[in-house]
A and B are shown apart, each in its own frame.
Chain A
Amino acid sequence: MTSLEILTYPDERLKTGCAPVDTFDPTLQSFIDHLIETCANGPGAVGIAAPQVGMLQRICIVDATKARRPVDNHGHLVLINPEITAWDGFAVGREGCLSVPDYTGKVIRAERIEIKAQDRFGKPCTFTMTGFEARIAQHEVDHLDGILFLDRLVSRHADLKRRNPT
């Protein structure tokens, strides 16, 4: 299995909305395997979206198991046609992107989301995600809508939410 080439900003394909997936065939399965491999080889990556490798379809990976510190998560997820259906709360957090090397910045995201999607075989699924995992999912769904974290930057001096209030 080889990693796919990752597109980098300002490639126009990163600013393009993606089409829904409607065929769950072997070609899709093969692409997903390559996308997983590409994410695994991305330095520090906890997710990836299909448009980052030039495939303009609504496919992404969310993997909060790779957080530097343990966080609540649903394991390694392949999400097809994901749709965020509810948002709650907000927090400032730091984000980077395989498609924007050598830069991280602060972004406001919902703290808790509900998301519905299909798994890699087309089976419907829903998740309630919080914190770090919710942030990854929002970052990846943004990619599917042609939005980069650069489009959502807030002040460098915005305070970050405490993870462990005392």
Chain B
Amino acid sequence: MKNNWLILTLVGEDRPGIVSNVTRVLFAVGAELGEAAMMRLGNQFAIMMMVRGAGSPEDVIGLLESVRMTFDLKLHVDETDAALHQAREPDVLITVHGADRTGIVAEVTAALVESGFNILDLRSDVGGTAASPIYIMQIEGEARQGIHAIEVAIAALGAQGLSVRITPLDTVRG
């Protein structure tokens, strides 16, 4: 199982140098990095990253202990069946926004799964002010039962104060 991809999750207060220090340690032992998503969430910086060639999950945790302490990171490592070259192409973008409240993601995604939609990428932000926050969410995915099924499924969300926009995505491949 030595060559399986591990998925590392690292979270800590955002400050310069986290990515550089984590990847330097992994590079130094000859590890290979696969696909990664890194972003600021709130005031935290979050890393999800495919890594292999650095040993077992316990080995990786040991390698990164010094960096983890320096940056006060939370670290989690899982052995997975992840593989590269498995890209899927989204054919719909769904943009949702409205006054922030609990339940937006649950309501929207419940409607989407009902319509056969498969989420490939979801990013949400809270904007506005602390007193009047707004929630903005962008979802890309596959409309497995067509656009009309999504339109039907989300029709009721407008009455719940959400603006939902569906944009078909066509990919130019040339």
Which residues of A line the B interface, CB within 8 A? 42-49, 62, 67-69, 71, 93-98, 102-104, 132, 135-136, 139-140, 143, 156-157, 159-164
Contacts and interface: CB of A to CB of B under 8 A. Distances in A.
B172 A96 contact: yes
B87 A104 contact: yes
A42 B172 CA distance: 12
Given A102-B87, A157-B123, A132 B172 contact: yes
Interface string B73-114: 000000000000101011101010000000000000000000
Contacts of A42: 173
B165 interface: yes
Contact of B87 (A44, A103, A157): A103
B6 to A, nearest CB: 22
Given A68-B91, A157-B138, A45 B167 contact: no
Contacts of A160: 93, 167, 169
A120 B72 CA distance: 64
**Size class of B's contact patch?**
10 to 19
B59 interface: no
Contacts of B55: none
A132 B170 contact: yes
A46 to B, nearest CB: 6
B95 A94 contact: no
Given A102-B85, A104-B87, A104-B89, A139 B167 contact: no
A161 B165 CA distance: 11
A140 B91 contact: no
Contacts of A102: 85, 87
B168 interface: yes
B174 interface: yes
A68 B123 CA distance: 26
B160 interface: no
Nearest to B147: A69
Contact of A69 (B121, B165, B170, B172): B170
Closest 10 CB pairs of A and B: A47-B174, A96-B173, A94-B171, A139-B174, A95-B172, A44-B173, A135-B172, A102-B87, A102-B85, A162-B167
Nearest to B138: A157
Contacts of B138: 157, 159
A69 B173 contact: no
Interface in B130-153: 138
Contacts of A159: 93, 95, 138
B89 A96 contact: yes
Which residue, A67, A94, A136, A143, has most C-beta atoms of chain B within 10 A?
A94
A120 B52 CA distance: 51
Contact of B174 (A69, A98, A156, A163): A98
Contact of B173 (A49, A97, A161, A163): A97
29 contacts: A42-B173, A43-B173, A44-B171, A46-B172, A46-B173, A46-B174, A47-B172, A47-B173, A48-B174, A67-B170, A68-B91, A71-B170, A94-B89, A95-B172, A96-B171, A96-B172, A96-B173, A97-B173, A102-B85, A102-B87, A104-B87, A132-B170, A135-B172, A136-B174, A139-B174, A143-B174, A156-B121, A160-B93, A164-B168
